[in-house]
Structure 1
Amino acid sequence: MEWNNLHEVLRALYDDMMPLAGDMAGVAKGLAGLGALFYVALKVWQALSRAEPIDVFPMLRPFALGLCIMFFPTIVLGTMNTVLSPIVSGTHAILEDQVLDLNKLQQQKDKLEYEAMVRNPETAYIVSDEEFDKKLDELGWMPSDLATMAGMYMDRQAYKIEKAIKDWFRNLLELLFQAAALVIDTIRTFFLIVLSILGPIAFSLSVWDGFQSTLTQWLTRYISVYLWLPVSDLFSSMLARIQSLILERDIEQLSDPSYIPDSSNTVYIIFMIIGIIGYFTIPTVTGWIIQAGGAGNFSRNVNQAAMKTGNIAGAGTGSVAGNISGQLMK
């Protein structure tokens, strides 16, 4: 199953579980009705005790919240998702515009890099079997020629080992990169489902005098979590554009016949590590857009996880670099 299919599964999961919010309406209506009784009685008693006219307008608040609870999936969730969905569509369109066919660019780069190494007499025998056989035919059977043959075999094997290690490490980072995006999307879907199903309870509690801030906190947290996906799309589009620019620069350099290629993918690996760590900063960035309280511990845990991921990735990079250096020294 592809990564995009996994994200689509999460979208379908949210759509399937959103109607469950209606099952909580019965409990929420009873709690809201009791709260409305005390709320209206308190307002009437305060007005009578002060010999003031009864203000009817504040008493309409429990009835408005009651209507929202009765039709919560349609009025509340449907309206909020309809208002916020254009933001998701807009950021996804930006992602589609920025994402080029990276596989084609990578294949074009590999082809040009192979051609450039074949043009170089010092590296042609390493990547090309024909050039390797041709150079062996040119050598004789003198002791010096045998030493040269042994060196050629060692250089060829060292190149294959180095390339295999780099490809493995790059594939590992790409896997971690996709996994980080899936983790953020999974946590987002879980938070939205919990907020949606228990939303009627939050609305019913806000009817009670002294708990009015519950409604505001629920709205801000729902919007904040919902915006994780647009922020993630913007971050992904930035990373995709960076990868495209790196590949385009390499292709431009390899198009020069006098350019000697460097097989190192250090820049690409560094940006992959930055991308893995950056995905875990999405909740913090979303908190800058809309302030939602109560997420301090989560943000702190996410930042600690990002730091640990960066340390592991950095240690892995150092280990791979050490192995490559040791192979080359041998």
Structure 2
Amino acid sequence: MANDNLHEVLQNLYYDMMPISAQMASVAKSLAGLGALFYIGIKVWQALARAEPIDVYPMLRPFALGICIMFFPTLVLGTLNTVLSPVVKGTHQILERQVIDMTLLQKQKDVLEKQAMLRNPETAYLISNEEFDKKLDELGWSPSDLATMAGMHLEKWQYDFKKNLRDAFREILEMLFQASALIIDTIRTFFLVVLSILGPIAFAISIWNGFEATLLQWLMRYISVYLWLPVADLFSSMLAKIQSLILERDMQLLSDPSYVPDTSNTIYVIFMLIGIVGYFTVPTVTSWVIQASGASGFLRNVNQSALKTGNIGAATAGATSGNITGRLIK
């Protein structure tokens, strides 16, 4: 619950910081206006210098970006968040279902594990005070019985000490696991706030010639950082599902009366360590989801394809002309 509350605090922080981007829009307007003036001037000068008709369509780009800058919080950020928020909600629901299933299985396993230890006379007195007192009452006051009592007290103390030590180590790992998720979410919120505040400046700079790719790079980074939380939720749900499968296997083994349960929780500790390390791979995995090359890369591929097509056509025409010429000479 505390973990969820901190995530809600970070989400509210992001929405509280979004209006600051409207203040940056006033600074970006002047930069965008100057960039639009140079952009349109260069396009018109190039058309006049080449004695070509002026193409109006490319000149609409600065006006479209100017409209985006003027209504940046609602038009740009609002649209992106509306499109991407269902992904966050969907992955969080998947995580909640997996965690609920894992919690129920863990409770059922604890009950079966306790019943299995109570069935075994050698371990029943370790977890039950009644069985411990009952076994003490069965002993007498002979030296051998006194030695057995001392051994029983020592074994119970060792069992309790190991159990408390495992529980403490488990709580530390769970705290580190939750801290890793909060670190990812905190860095994500910081990046989103910075991108949101400086977004109008990025849009204004993209109007200038040579900086067109700034717009696509900003969109790519914003979407990529926004998807950190869904990817982290998917990773957590995967770990929860794996632990659920392990719990189901352990419950099947506990149904065997001759099975001696292992209370060390080694597998659980291993998956906690994997989860702590795995959380820091979320940014790398998210960068694989979305890529942006820009219009220049697309045009370069088109030009290369056209050049190859032209070379093939020229070679085919040359071969055909050679064949016709050879037949005429004959």
Name the TM-score class by shorter chain: 0.7 to 0.9
* Alignment partner, residue 21 of structure 2: 21
Task: Determine the structure 2 residue equivalent to 1:51.
Answer: 51
Q: Is the Cα–Cα contact under 8 Å of residues 116 and 261 in structure 2 kept in the other structure? A: yes
* 1:246 alignment counterpart: 246
Equivalent residues of 1:92, 1:230 under 8 A apart: yes
Aligned to 1:2: 2
> What CA deviation, in whole Å up to 9, does each residue of 1:244-267 have, x standing for no partner?
222222223223322221212001
Matching of residue 91 in structure 1 with residue 91 in structure 2: yes
Map 1:163-202 → 2, pairs under 5 A: 163-202=163-202
Task: Give the equivalent residue in structure 2 for 1:129.
Answer: 129
**Contact kept in structure 2, 1:188 and 1:226, CA below 8 Å:** yes
Aligned residue number for residue 290 of structure 1: 290
- The SS at the match of 1:182 is helix
Q: Note if contact 2:227-2:286 (Cα within 8 Å) is conserved in structure 1.
A: yes
What amino acid maps onto 1:50 in structure 2? R
**Structure 1 residue 49 displacement after superposition:** 1.8
- How far the C-alpha of 1:292 sits from its partner, in A, is 6.7
Secondary structure at the residue paired with 2:47? helix
Residue 89 of structure 1, CA deviation: 2.5
Cα distance, 1:159 vs structure 2: 0.2
Deviation at 1:138, TM superposition (A): 1.9
Matched to 1:161, the amino acid is F
Gaps of 5+ in 1: 294-330
Report the TM-score, using the length of structure 2 for normalisation.
0.85
Equivalent runs, 1:248-287 vs 2, <5 Å: 248-287=248-287
CA offsets 1:84-142 (integer angstroms, 9 cap, x no match): 12222222232233232544433332222222112111112222212212222222222
Which residues in structure 2 correspond to 1:129-148 (within 5 Å)? Answer: 129-148=129-148
Residue 55 of structure 1, CA deviation:
1.5
- How many percent identity over aligned positions? 73
Post-superposition CA distance 1:37-84 (Å, at most 9, x none): 111111111222222222211111111110110011111111111121
Q: TM-score, normalised by structure 1?
A: 0.85
Question: CA-atom RMSD, angstroms?
Answer: 1.6
For residues 11-52 of structure 1, what are the alpha-carbon distances to aligned partners after superposition, in whole Å with 9 as ceiling and x for unaligned? 111111112111111100000001111111111112222222
Partners of 1:124 and 1:91 in 2: how far apart? 43
Against the structure 1 CA distance between its residues 97 and 139, is the aligned structure 2 distance closer, same or farther, given a 3 Å change threshold?
closer
Tell me the distance in 1 between the aligned counterparts of 2:94 and 2:145.
Answer: 59
Does the 8 Å CA contact 2:21/2:73 hold for their aligned counterparts? yes
Deviation for aligned residue 1:219: 0.5
Q: What secondary structure is seen at the aligned counterpart in 1 of 2:122?
A: coil
> Which ranges of structure 2 fall in alignment gaps of 5 or more residues?
294-330
Stretch deviating more after TM superposition (213-222 or 84-93): 84-93
**Contact kept in structure 1, 2:216 and 2:292, CA below 8 Å:** no
Q: Which has the greater radius of gyration?
A: 2
Amino acid at match of 2:14: Y
